[in-house]
Amino acid sequence: MSKKFLLSLVCIMLMTAFTDYARSQGFNSITTPDGIYVIAVGDAGLMFRSTNGGNTWASYTIPSVNLKGVTSYNNDVWIAGANGKIYKTLKSASPVNEVELGITSQLNSVTFVNENVGYVCGNGGVVYKTVNGGANWTSASTGIPASTDLNSISFLDADNGVAGGKEGKVYITSNGGAQWNAENTGATRNIKDVKYFAQGIVIAGEYGTLITKSGSSAWSTVNTRIITDVNAISGTGMNDVHVCGGGGFIRNNKNNDQRFYNFEINPMLANLVDIHYFDATTGFAVSSLNNAIMKTTNGGTQWTLTAGATVSYQWQNKLSASGGIGNNLCAHPTDPNTVFCGYGSRVYVSRNRGENWTQISNYSGGGSMHSFYVSPLDTNVWVAAITGSPDRVIKSTDYGTSWTTSYQQNFSNYGQPLEMDQNNPSVYYFAPDGGGFYKSTDNGSTFTEISGNFPFRSPCDILVMWDSSNVIFVGDGVTGSGQAVIHKSTNGGVNWVSVRTVASSETPSMTNTVFDRSLIFSTEWSGSNIYKSTDYGTSFSISHSTGFSGWASSFCLEDPTLVTTGNYGSNSAISLNKGETWIYQGGLSGSGAGMLNPDRGMILNMQTSALFKLKATYSVLTSVNETQLANSAPSGFELQQNYPNPFNPSTVIRFAMPTAGQVSVKVYDQLGREVSILAEGFRNAGTYELTFDAAGLSSGVYFYKLNASGVEMTKKMLLLR
């Protein structure tokens, strides 16, 4: 195998680990005019190009500008900058030319309907139009107030367009931007993206906003049943609309599913900010939190990471505490960044997606919480099950400042005996030891036995079916009994039948999803099987065996393709395809307690003495990492000495060109054999910085040569292992 081939394999590795709250380096937008040439752009001038459909990528930097939007048509590519400028280039590697609009407002979105006619929008109600391919631009914002920041613009043709922005503002034009008229879509949250299809319009925005309009019909709001943002829209028509956002979901309305319940299986556990389908089968998607670019070639049935990118997982300890048992994790009902957790008699809150935690309450009666809920009807109302003498259900109506006892009876010392009805949050269910099923219809203030004291032994978990509160499940078990049971009621907990009994001791956890009521997973202890029902809990079969005893489980609240299970120890199992295949991930400490996946980017695991969050790290291979350091032309050709030198394994090489032209920078060994091409093609005048990674080469002397406009320069460098 040649050294050149080895080097092309290792290339330059750009490792970008995402954090959930603060935006790190990633992309804002992606486009392709033909499915072959692909361009993605992001903040800090980040640009990736591919000339082969994403099989390989080259990385470039446009200095001192955040790139907010990109679009393409045939051979041309246009980019919207946060500095009020448009950048134009070609789909192939070519210079990026800056176009002044005469404004400083941040530009957020750009679109072209053909090679000549295009539009751009931005903050301050800015809309500009070009009719000569972007060489010149004129204002076209009549009817849009300057107080409206516009985030997205889309045109069906040269005349018909839509723009959307903050506070749900949407404007439509039918005369090429000569006049815009406000539309009452019913949106109140900030609009993140708009799309004008031949058959209608789709708008998307914050807190799950998704609104459609087919032809001349009225606007229709889609109940997305999520609280994270819908960031981007793509597709080929109103019956083939794909949207992405949140912690990484992609959904579509194929097969006339107006709920957008078709979820596209993908490997991204980070927010997706843009999606671009070139045709009905080929699409690309990007996150603002990493440089991993995804691609589908089958209309979203399956997405994969491009260019050999890989992902690794790690559980990170975010809170050390004591007294954790049951599942005391609870997502905030309206704030996607906030989550609660109970440890012992204390309640903690995170306001930054599980990264940091602060204690906000302490129940004076002591004990350990086994179930904890914040009411979606009033976040001042909390209800919990906590151990005592006897055990009890407690309630706070003042955000945990004070607590009162609602009901007293002993319950399982290892499970979660209390459940809120997610379909009717004023209703709670309680299943203590020794039989009986109790119901509260007054937000957990009082409880009444409704089952004729059905002889449960020691219930571990209660599950209420989404959109069907009459269907309830209880996981029952006693340590050492050798019999784990799931009971089912179809009349709201009054009567019960057994639907699964296995030779384990407990059924510690069950999980279901609002997006597919037929699907349920359950765990067992001390056995290692995960059980799955696809018939609404009528029957269960073995989904897979983990090799470790089961404990907690959780469907992602916003994407049913993601499901996780834990164990009473250090292991966990993660599935990105509804349980078809699983990734086994260790690294936890203590014993299992509970799991919660509010969205794909926030996967939490509560252990008895520590709370963990899953971190995904994406490693991206690029064939070139090139940065243009200055826009002004240098006085002459330059090839600077690499630094550091000697180096191991990477070094930086700078070169300068006083005029635009063809250039190549190549690396040779001592025998004159070419081992790497660092730059090749047309470049503007300027100074450039290249990163060379020699991970596949042996120690020794190497030479790097600049060839530009007939000028040749060569320098020597030393690789020391």
Tens of pLDDT, residues 298-343: 999 999 999 878 999 999 999 999 999 999 999 999 999 999 999 9
Cβ 243 vs Cβ 260: under 8 Å: yes
CATH number at 629-719 = 2.60.40.1930
Which tokens go with 470? 């009459």
Closest CA to 164 of 66, 100, 77, 231: 231
pLDDT at 5: 26
pLDDT of residue 526: 93
| Domain boundaries 313-619, corresponding CATH code | 2.130.10.10
CA distances 126 to 79, 105, 633, Å, are: 16, 8, 32
Specify whether the CB–CB gap between 592 and 566 falls below 8 A: yes
Whether residue 235 contacts residue 242, with contact meaning beta carbons closer than 8 Å, is answered with: yes
Q: What is the pLDDT of residue 695?
A: 75
Q: Which CATH number fits domain 25-288: 2.130.10.10, 2.160.20.10, 3.40.50.10490, 3.30.2010.10?
A: 2.130.10.10
Three-state SS at 602: strand
Residue with tokens 């203030």: 445
Closest CA to 533 of 476, 478, 578: 578
Cβ-Cβ contacts under 8 Å for 1 (sequence gap 6 or more): none
CA 141 from chain center: how many Å?
33
**In DSSP terms, which residues pair with 344 in a beta bridge?**
none
Supply the pLDDT for residue 623: 59
pLDDT given for residue 631 in this prediction: 59
Is residue 604 within 8 Å of 613, Cβ to Cβ?
A: yes
Residue segments in the chain with a per-residue pLDDT below the cut of 50: 1-24
Distance CA 151, CA 162 (A): 11
Long-range contacts of 137-141 (CB under 8 A, 24+ apart): 137/86, 137/99, 137/101, 140/176, 140/177, 140/178, 141/177, 141/180
- Do domains 25-288 and 313-619 share one topology? The answer is yes
Of the candidates 189, 186, 115, 180, the one whose C-alpha atom is nearest the C-alpha of residue 153 is 180
Q: What is the pLDDT of residue 630?
A: 58
Amino acid identity, position 178:
A
Cα 263 to chain centroid, rounded: 13
Cα 276 off chain centre by = 16
Segment 29-55, tens digit of pLDDT = 999 999 999 999 999 999 999 989 998
Q: How many CB atoms lie within 10 A of CB 672?
A: 7
Angstrom distance (rounded) from CA 133 to CA 136:
8
Which two structure tokens, joined as six digits, stand for 694? Answer: 């020699």
Query: pLDDT digit string (tens) for 566-602?
Result: 999 999 999 999 999 999 999 999 999 999 999 999 9
394-425 as b/e: b if 16+ CB within 10 A: bbbbebbeebeebbebbbbebbbbbbbbbeeb
Nearest to 327 by CA among 422, 259, 404, 419: 419
The upper half-sphere exposure of residue 83, i.e. CA atoms within 13 Å in the direction of its Cβ, equals 15
Domain range summary for the chain, segments of one domain joined by +: 25-288, 313-619, 629-719
pLDDT at site 354: 98
* Rounded-to-integer distance, Cα 416 and Cα 445, Å: 18
Q: The tokens of 339 are what?
A: 């989550």
CB 154 within 8 A of CB 121: no
The DSSP element (H or E) to which 50 belongs, if any, is: strand 46-50
Provide the pLDDT for residue 632.
67
